[in-house]
Amino acid sequence: MRRSFVNVVFGLLVAAALVLVALLLAVMSGHFVAGQKDSASPAAPATPSLSSARQHRLPPPPLKRVTPTQAAATQLAPTVVHITIAATRGPCWLVARRGSETGPILVQELLARGREITLRGPHIWLELGAAANVDIAVNGQARTVPAGTTSMLLG
């Protein structure tokens, strides 16, 4: 008997859940939202005539002619980063390329302890050997460099 009571309660819970889901779907589909009346209300404003609508229309703004020189001047220049690499703790082998890992080589050398180089460009890809020996600053802000041989894109 206890098992049949549990079955009845479970059945009622399932039925209640189905009713709630049906109500939720009806509300979401808009069945219980009050719609606008089809007949025009007496307080509704009259539709303006075509001639009055033409009288209130603003003229289009005049076209602005831009020369190619002006267009080139208004384009945003790429952001140039200033990268300083200083071998403060020991020598560091480095390769710097423009743009990506396969870009043209800007610098490829063994940076001796005490030496510093500065690179400029929108994107500089660096590969460093013994990276723990160098300090890197990008636009004057120190960057953390992983130890060992590492690669990174700056800019």
Q: What is the pTM of this model?
A: 0.51
Which residue, 103, 74, 100, 86, is CA-closest to 153? 100
Q: What is the mean pLDDT of residues 97-122?
A: 94
Domain membership of residue 44 (yes or no) is no
Residue 16: inside a domain:
no
Answer yes or no: is 148 within a domain. Answer: yes
When divided into structural domains, the chain yields a total of 1
Interval 44-64: pLDDT, tens: 555 555 555 555 666 776 766
- Say if 125 falls within a structural domain: yes
**% of the chain surpassing 90 pLDDT:** 44
Q: Do the domain assignments include residue 129?
A: yes
- 10 Å CB burial of residue 111 (0-12, 13-18, 19+) is buried
Q: Say what the pLDDT of residue 23 is.
A: 72
What's the average model confidence in pLDDT over 66-91?
77
- Model confidence over 116-140: pLDDT tens digits? 999 999 999 999 999 999 999 999 9
Residue 141 domain boundaries: 81-154
Using alpha carbons, select from 75, 73, 77, 78 the residue that is nearest to residue 99.
Answer: 78
Q: In this predicted structure, what is the pLDDT of residue 39?
A: 46
105 assigned to some structural domain? yes
